[in-house]
């Protein structure tokens, strides 16, 4: 299989781990919801520790409009098209979740200074597909699909937008949404002909902010869905109940032969694990349960709110953030049924464990994370979503977000916040902004899938 | 054209005549007022403003719960004036828009319209 070729990415996860160390980071930064009437933008950060501008923003690419709320993003190509010499990992697709605009950003012509290549107007997407609120992007070989969380009026469940490699709208990807109530994240594992999708809420529910009472009124998700990937339709649903309130990030093992996968249930603060058993049946179990923590000013204990999970490229370590508690945890999941806590660090959060890190007041908690391909450097940002930030961490409006780096011990486990790396988005030239998802030019632990 | 006068209390009481048939966001932006907005269909709350006096028709909005409505919030991308209005705009007007949902829960009648329980039904 290991041909001396050719397309983007790597022949295998093991090969990806041998890739050169990342020298640039792309991170989105938002002004939506901050009161600063400027476009959201993509920042490029110098991650080369030998460089004089290490740990600094080296360029900023403003989007053409205001109020997009840039959120997640994805590459036009990943290791799923490694065998295709005609493909190149060149463009980041950077959606605005509020505007539904898709910004196609050229990161290859000048990697330190990305440029806007094309915009697919949200109005065109709504008109052609009746979809809005783009979230997760994965390439499927030369095609691209994007989970869209609402219809054109912001109602659930939305569906999947299909783009071709030239960024033209093909239409809806799925043949059916079945009985799915909500959309959010998805990941596919083609050797098992499966895609798993999770549930946040309708855009009209989550965009204005979080009303806890709406969880009880079933306005937020608590199910995960197993799709027949070739037929493009859901085949089986697991009702996770109270153990799985608001299941967000979905991660399969990077090993394409594996059937094991994980989802973080944000509000229940649990990690759910699934796998295919000896009888070829999908099974699920709760493997981690983060206890709620007492707070001096709260009438009820504070839930962790697991806003993200991530697997190292060798599938040995699971990382996740408790956005309200303020900790990042590392578990050894060599046995996926029996995770072992091997590391934990604190930054920000509501429990006041680490209000200052590297001389910067951390407002918000650890939120989006991205891990280097070799598994040794974990980059962390602190903003979740503008309206939710405003509810839980209102000071973020004046303080902005920040990015930190955590050094991870890949031999015996363990984590430590790097003392030399911090990007303070409170000091941005146009005023305090908030940083969210991060990607690397050479691919990362949440984008690449192997066929 | 049926017009109403809109006064922006936190913009030095600047006054604008606007078309009663058009959403306030469009009318005010067309006259040079810098306003935040996102979805433009009444669902995402980015353009919320506070109605100090006057009245609007904002039947199309689905972003606000009843507490936010009672606090005077209006969604400018779908709200059409039915009278002369005084507004506070921008995030400076959002002091009561966001609350910690764990510390300050909503009462059943304060939920969004589709799930709220009318106050007289609660005993």
pLDDT tens digit sequence for A397-426: 999 999 999 999 999 999 999 999 999 999
Q: Which residues of A91-120 are buried (b: 16+ CB within 10 A; e: fewer)?
A: bbbbbbbbbbbbbbbbbeeebeebeebebb
pLDDT at position A98: 96
DSSP string, A262-305: EEEETTTTEEEEEEE-TTS-EEEEEEEEPPPB--TT-SSPBP--
Could you give all domains of chain B from N- to C-terminal order, each with its CATH number? 3-121 (3.10.20.30)
Chain A residues whose C-beta is within 8 A of a chain B C-beta are 32-35, 37, 66-69, 98-100, 132, 150, 152-154, 203-204, 207-214, 217, 219, 297-300, 302, 386-387, 390-392, 394, 397
pLDDT at position A217: 96
Note the Cα A202 to chain centre separation in Å: 18
State which residue of chain A sits closest to B93, comparing Cα positions. Answer: A35
A183 and A172 in contact (C-beta within 8 Å)?
no
| CA–CA dist A403, A417 (Å, integer) | 11
Chain A residue numbers touching B62 (CB-CB < 8 A): 154, 204
B75 touches chain A (CB under 8 A): no
| CA–CA dist A143, A149 (Å, integer) | 20
User: Distance of CA A28 to CAs A96, A333, A385, A402, Å?
Assistant: 11, 30, 12, 12
B92 touches chain A (CB under 8 A): yes
pLDDT at position A140: 87
- In percent, the amount of chain A with pLDDT more than 70 equals 99
Could you give all domains of chain A from N- to C-terminal order, each with its CATH number? 13-439 (2.130.10.10)
pLDDT at position B123: 52
| Cross-chain Cβ contact A213/B105 below 8 Å | yes
pLDDT tens digit sequence for A173-231: 999 999 999 999 999 999 999 999 999 999 999 999 999 999 999 999 999 999 999 99
Q: What letter does residue A244 receive in the DSSP assignment?
A: G
B32 touches chain A (CB under 8 A): no
Mean pLDDT of chain B: 95
SS3 at position B55: coil
**pLDDT for residue A2 is more than 70:** no
pLDDT tens digit sequence for A26-39: 999 999 999 999 99
- Cα angle A145, A148, A153 (rounded to 5 degrees) comes to 145
Note the Cα A159 to chain centre separation in Å: 18
Note the Cα A389 to chain centre separation in Å: 17
pLDDT tens digit sequence for B64-113: 999 999 999 999 999 999 999 999 999 999 999 999 999 999 999 999 99
**pLDDT for residue A109 is more than 80:** yes
pLDDT at position B1: 79
SS3 for A59-94 is: EEEECCCCCCCECCCEECCCHHHCCCCCCCCCEEEE
B73 and B97 in contact (C-beta within 8 Å)?
yes
| Cross-chain Cβ contact A203/B64 below 8 Å | no
| Cross-chain Cβ contact A397/B99 below 8 Å | no
Nearest to B46 among A33, A100, A153 (CB): A33
Closest CA to A14 of A259, A407, A336, A373: A373
Chain B residue numbers touching A210 (CB-CB < 8 A): 101
**pLDDT for residue A132 is more than 70:** yes
pLDDT tens digit sequence for A277-318: 999 999 999 999 999 999 988 988 999 999 999 999 999 999
Q: Chain A interface, mutation test: which of B98, B106, B115, most A Cβ atoms within 10 Å? A: B98
- Could you tell me whether strands A402-408 and A377-381 are parallel, antiparallel, or unpaired per DSSP bridges? antiparallel
SS3 at position B20: coil
| CA–CA dist A248, A309 (Å, integer) | 9
**pLDDT for residue A3 is more than 60:** no
Closest CA to A206 of A12, A446, A421, A391: A391
| CA–CA dist A162, B3 (Å, integer) | 44
State which residue of chain B sits closest to A132, comparing Cα positions. Answer: B39
pLDDT tens digit sequence for A134-185: 999 999 888 999 999 999 999 999 999 999 999 999 999 999 999 999 999 9
Higher pLDDT, B106 or A2: B106
SS3 at position A322: strand
Beta bridge partners of A259: none
| CA–CA dist A209, B45 (Å, integer) | 8
Q: What is the mean pLDDT of residues A88-99?
A: 96
2-31 in chain B: CB under 8 A from chain A: none
**pLDDT for residue A82 is more than 50:** yes
How far B49 CA lies from chain A's nearest CA (Å)? 12
Q: Which residues of A136-149 are buried (b: 16+ CB within 10 A; e: fewer)?
A: bbbbbbbebbbbbb
pLDDT tens digit sequence for A386-397: 999 999 999 999
Alpha carbons within 13 angstroms on the beta-carbon side of residue A41 total 24
pLDDT at position A159: 98
pLDDT at position A4: 52
pLDDT tens digit sequence for A329-346: 999 999 999 999 999 999
Q: Which residues of A392-430 are buried (b: 16+ CB within 10 A; e: fewer)?
A: bbbebbebbbbbbbbbbebeebebebbeebbbbbbebee
Nearest to B38 among A98, A150, A209 (CB): A98
| Cross-chain Cβ contact A203/B34 below 8 Å | no
B41 sits in the region (left: phi over 0; alpha: psi -120 to 50; else beta) called alpha
How far A176 CA lies from chain B's nearest CA (Å)? 25
Residue listed under structure tokens 């290791």: A79
State which residue of chain A sits closest to B99, comparing Cα positions. Answer: A391
**pLDDT for residue A350 is more than 60:** yes
Residue length of chain B: 123
| CA–CA dist A274, A256 (Å, integer) | 15
DSSP string, A349-399: SSS-SBSEETTEE--S----EEE-TTS-EEEEE----HHHHHHH-TTHHHH
Q: What is the mean pLDDT of residues A72-94?
A: 94
pLDDT at position A1: 43
| Cross-chain Cβ contact B103/A299 below 8 Å | yes
Q: Chain A interface, mutation test: which of B11, B34, B37, B38, most A Cβ atoms within 10 Å? A: B38
């Amino acid at each position: 299989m290991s041909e001396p070729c050719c397309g983007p990415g790597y022949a295998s996860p093991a090969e990806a781990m041998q890739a050169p160390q990342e020298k640039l980071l792309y991170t989105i930064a938002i002004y939506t919801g901050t009161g600063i009437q400027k476009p959201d933008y993509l920042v490029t950060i110098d991650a080369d520790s030998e460089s004089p501008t290490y740990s600094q923003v080296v360029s900023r690419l403003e989007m053409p409009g205001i109020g997009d709320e840039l959120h997640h993003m994805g590459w036009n190509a990943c290791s799923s098209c490694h065998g295709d010499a005609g493909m190149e990992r060149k463009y980041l697709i950077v959606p605005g979740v509020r505007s539904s605009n898709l910004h196609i950003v050229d990161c290859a012509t000048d990697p330190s200074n990305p440029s806007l290549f094309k915009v697919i107007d949200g109005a065109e997407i709504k008109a052609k597909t009746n979809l809005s609120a783009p979230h997760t992007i994965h390439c499927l070989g030369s095609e691209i699909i994007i989970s869209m969380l609402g219809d054109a009026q912001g109602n659930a469940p939305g569906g999947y937008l299909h783009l071709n490699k030239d960024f033209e709208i093909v239409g809806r990807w799925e043949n059916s949404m079945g009985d799915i109530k909500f959309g959010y994240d998805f990941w596919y594992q083609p050797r098992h002909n499966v895609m798993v999708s999770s549930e946040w809420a309708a855009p009209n529910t989550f965009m204005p902010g979080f009303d806890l009472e709406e969880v009880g009124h079933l306005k937020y998700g608590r199910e995960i869905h197993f799709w027949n990937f070739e037929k493009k339709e859901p085949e089986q649903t697991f009702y996770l109940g109270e153990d799985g309130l608001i299941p967000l990030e979905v991660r399969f093992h990077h090993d394409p032969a594996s059937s094991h996968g994980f989802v973080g249930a944000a509000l229940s603060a649990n990690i759910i694990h699934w796998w295919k058993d000896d009888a070829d049946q999908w099974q699920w179990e709760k493997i981690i349960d983060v206890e709620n923590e007492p707070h001096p000013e709260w009438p009820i204990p504070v839930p962790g709110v697991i806003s993200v999970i991530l697997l190292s490229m060798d599938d040995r370590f699971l990382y996740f953030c408790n956005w309200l508690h303020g900790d990042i945890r590392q578990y050894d999941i060599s046995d996926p049924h029996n995770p072992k806590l091997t590391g934990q660090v604190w930054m920000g959060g509501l429990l006041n464990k680490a209000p200052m890190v590297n001389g910067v007041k951390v407002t918000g908690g650890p939120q989006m994370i991205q891990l280097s391909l070799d598994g040794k450097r974990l980059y962390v940002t602190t903003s979740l979503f503008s309206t939710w930030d405003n509810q839980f961490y209102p000071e973020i409006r004046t303080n902005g977000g920040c990015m930190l780096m955590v050094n991870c011990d890949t031999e015996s486990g363990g984590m430590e916040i790097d003392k030399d790396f911090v990007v303070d988005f409170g000091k941005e030239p146009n005023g305090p902004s908030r940083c969210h998802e991060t990607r690397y030019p050479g691919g990362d632990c949440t984008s690449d899938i192997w066929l | 054209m049926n017009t109403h006068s809109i006064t922006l209390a936190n913009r030095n009481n600047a006054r604008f005549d606007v078309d009663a048939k058009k959403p306030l966001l469009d009318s005010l932006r067309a006259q040079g007022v810098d306003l935040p907005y996102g979805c433009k269909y009444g669902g995402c709350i980015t353009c919320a403003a506070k109605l100090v006096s006057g009245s609007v028709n904002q039947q199309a909005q689905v972003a606000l719960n009843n507490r936010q409505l009672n606090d005077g919030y209006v969604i400018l991308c779908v709200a059409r004036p039915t009278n002369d209005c005084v507004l506070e705009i921008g995030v400076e007007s959002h002091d009561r828009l966001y609350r910690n949902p764990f510390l300050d829960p909503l009462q059943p009648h304060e939920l969004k319209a589709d799930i709220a329980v009318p106050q007289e039904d609660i005993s």
